[in-house]
Amino acid sequence: MGTKRHPNEDQRPEEGLYGLMHEAGFTSVESLSKKSGVSARTIFNCQYNLSAPTNGTVVLLARALKVDPSRLRSVLSEREG
């Protein structure tokens, strides 16, 4: 895993997982959590590269976001650096 990004660093809304959330019409991590069955904490950790998501987590989030799991993996891997 790459360098961890601090959650308080500036980030444009269209970047990363939050960009996919916006595209899918989600307005909060809590709403994505409810729809996907993935905890809000896990979603936060994925966005800020605090822990690597399991394959199951990627699949659940991808379904809720209506994107291919490979696209979600790609977006999440862009967070590494």
Burial of 54 (0-12, 13-18, 19+ CB in 10 A): exposed
Q: What is the pLDDT of residue 15?
A: 74
- 41 lies in a domain? yes
- 28 lies in a domain? yes
- 59 lies in a domain? yes
Mean pLDDT (10-residue bins), the chain, 81 residues: 46 74 95 98 92 95 97 84 52
Instruction: Note down the domain range covering 35.
Output: 16-75
- 47 lies in a domain? yes
Output the domain CATH number for residue 69: 1.10.260.40
pTM, two decimals, is: 0.80
Structure tokens that stand for 32 in this block: 């994505």
Q: What is the pLDDT of residue 77?
A: 86
Q: What is the pLDDT of residue 13?
A: 47
Number of domains in the chain: 1
Residue with tokens 């979600």: 72
- 11 lies in a domain? no
Q: What is the pLDDT of residue 1?
A: 43
Structure tokens that stand for 24 in this block: 């899918």
